């Protein structure tokens, strides 16, 4: 993984960048010394550094054994969760197994059409498992989806066999889902107490669905481990420190919106995961960057106009993949009716690269500061690196702008109103 900040210098000179990094070192130390608000939720920092990559009473071997059971049966796994209980593994599977149809997702919305689609799909599948993911078991969206899907599973297989096909990821000792799991004898994986939802992708919350998709979770964790040393150094060569410092400095200079832009559609859900990570961690107490995303070159024909010439309260982070595993070369056409023969002999990778370079220059000329985070290829290892890098960056940025990056008090506001309108007892 590499980071290029050269297109920030037209807007922040080198002395301001150096100053911003120096001023942000104390925020890095707050993370590393666990001395800030919410520091009891820094368990995600430990996972890549443990010999067995475990935290809170689980083993990778057990996760892989259950995942292999599902893979051996060519079964469909329906993951039921929302927020951090959905976006992390959705992101990883879309990046590494983008065309799999064996991992389905429910409970991330309250759409009858979506749930009925899931029911229609699994009706045609011979082998079906459910993976409800909820620390409490009472979150409305996944809770009502699980109730419907569990009834379907019991009708299909009978209560006893259905119980063997439900793997619950939940609190180790308490909560409605834990009580149900204990009462029915369900297999379970724990949600570690020291890891909040949006940081939980490298816990069983994300690892089990990722493994069930046929992805090597050890290589993902090894990638995260490789990012630990560079992202925890207390010097200017720390990419997470550098990025966090620039984000905070640009916010101070009126750049209130950060757009994460990628030229690879496999990273669409990486941006969705990043938006939750950033929005819930930093957006509080009247401050924080607003996270937005774009998938280019598609969105250059929609959002591109606004990014180029709209309000100048934005900056951009490009997430770039240098090489693809597929090689498609444009051939020459004798008639050249489309006037594209000048591209003959070039691969799509080469063309995509020039699209990125041209966009970065155009947006710089359009007074949009931008920086680039790049990986060579989308692999388990590089994805693990990116996950840890962005988690560190957001944690550091949160402390730098003066907020607790590990709570989310604003999330409860809509729930209280929804419960009142639905007539929930006691609300």
User: Which residues are known catalytic residues?
Assistant: 280, 301, 415
- 274: nearest Cα among 146, 87, 418: 87
In 338-356, which positions are buried (b, 16+ CB within 10 angstroms) versus exposed (e)? Answer: eeeeebeeebebeebbeeb
Q: In what order do the strands lie in the sheet with 2-4?
A: 2-4, 370-375, 314-321, 257-262, 290-295
Between CA 107 and CA 363, with CA 95 as vertex, the angle to 5 degrees is 105
Let me know: does 355 contact 15? Beta carbons within 8 Å.
no
| Nearest of 343, 396, 349 to residue 377 by alpha carbon | 349
Q: Answer for the pair 83, 198: CB distance below 8 angstroms, yes or no.
A: yes
Dump strand ranges (E) for 38-181. Answer: 76-80, 103-106, 128-132, 167-170
DSSP 5: -
User: CA-CA distances (angstroms) from residue 286 to 116, 256, 289, 375, 402?
Assistant: 39, 11, 10, 34, 11
**Strand pairing partners for 188?**
168
Task: Give the C-alpha distances (Å, rounded to integers) separating 209 from 110, 190, 206, 214, 220.
Answer: 22, 14, 6, 9, 13
Determine contact, residues 188/168, Cβ cutoff 8 Å: yes
- Distance, in Å, from the CA atom of 162 to the CA atom of 166, rounded to the nearest integer, reads 7
CB-count burial class (<10 Å; 0-12, 13-18, 19+) for 417 = exposed
Q: Do 216 and 380 form a contact (C-beta atoms < 8 A)? A: yes
SS3 content of the chain, % helix, strand, coil (to 5): 55, 15, 35
Distance between CA atoms of 119 and 148, rounded to whole angstroms? 9
């Amino acid at each position: 993984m590499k980071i290029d900040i050269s297109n920030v210098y037209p807007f922040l000179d080198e002395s301001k960048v150096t100053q911003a990094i120096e001023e942000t070192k104390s925020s890095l130390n707050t993370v590393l010394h666990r001395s800030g608000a919410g520091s009891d939720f820094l368990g995600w920092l430990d996972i890549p550094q443990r010999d067995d990559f475990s935290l809170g009473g689980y083993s990778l071997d057990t996760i892989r054994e259950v995942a292999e059971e599902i893979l051996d049966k060519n079964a469909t796994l329906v993951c039921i969760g929302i927020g951090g209980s959905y976006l992390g593994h959705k992101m990883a599977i879309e990046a590494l197994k983008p065309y799999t149809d064996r991992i389905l997702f429910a409970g991330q919305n309250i759409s009858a059409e979506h749930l009925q689609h899931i029911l229609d799909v699994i009706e045609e599948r011979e082998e079906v498992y459910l993976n409800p993911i909820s620390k409490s078991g009472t979150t409305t969206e996944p809770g009502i989806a699980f109730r419907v899907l569990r009834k379907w599973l019991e009708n299909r297989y009978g209560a006893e066999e259905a119980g063997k096909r439900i793997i619950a990821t939940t609190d180790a000792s308490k909560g409605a889902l834990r009580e149900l799991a204990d009462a029915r004898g369900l297999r379970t994986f724990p949600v570690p107490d020291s890891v909040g939802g949006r940081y939980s992708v490298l816990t069983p919350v994300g690892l089990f669905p990722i493994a069930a998709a046929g992805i090597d979770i050890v290589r993902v964790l090894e990638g995260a481990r490789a990012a630990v040393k560079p992202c925890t150094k207390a010097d200017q060569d720390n990419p997470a420190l550098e990025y966090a410092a620039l984000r905070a400095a640009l916010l101070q200079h009126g750049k209130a919106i950060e757009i994460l832009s990628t030229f690879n559609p496999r990273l669409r859900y990486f941006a969705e995961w990043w938006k939750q990570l950033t929005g819930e961690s930093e957006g509080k107490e009247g401050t924080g960057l607003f996270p937005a995303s774009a998938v280019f070159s598609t969105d250059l024909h929609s959002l591109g106009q606004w990014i180029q010439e709209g309000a100048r309260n934005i900056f951009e982070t490009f997430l770039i993949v240098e090489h693809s595993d597929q090689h498609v070369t444009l051939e020459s056409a004798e008639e050249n009716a489309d006037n594209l023969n000048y591209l003959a002999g070039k691969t799509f990778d080469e063309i995509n690269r020039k699209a990125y370079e041209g966009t970065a220059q155009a947006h710089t000329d359009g007074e949009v500061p931008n920086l680039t985070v790049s990986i060579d290829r989308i692999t388990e290892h590089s994805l693990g690196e990116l996950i840890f890098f962005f988690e560190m960056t957001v944690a550091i940025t949160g402390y730098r702008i003066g907020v607790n990056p590990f709570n989310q008090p604003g999330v409860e506001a809509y729930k209280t109103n929804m419960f009142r309108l639905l007539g929930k007892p006691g609300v």
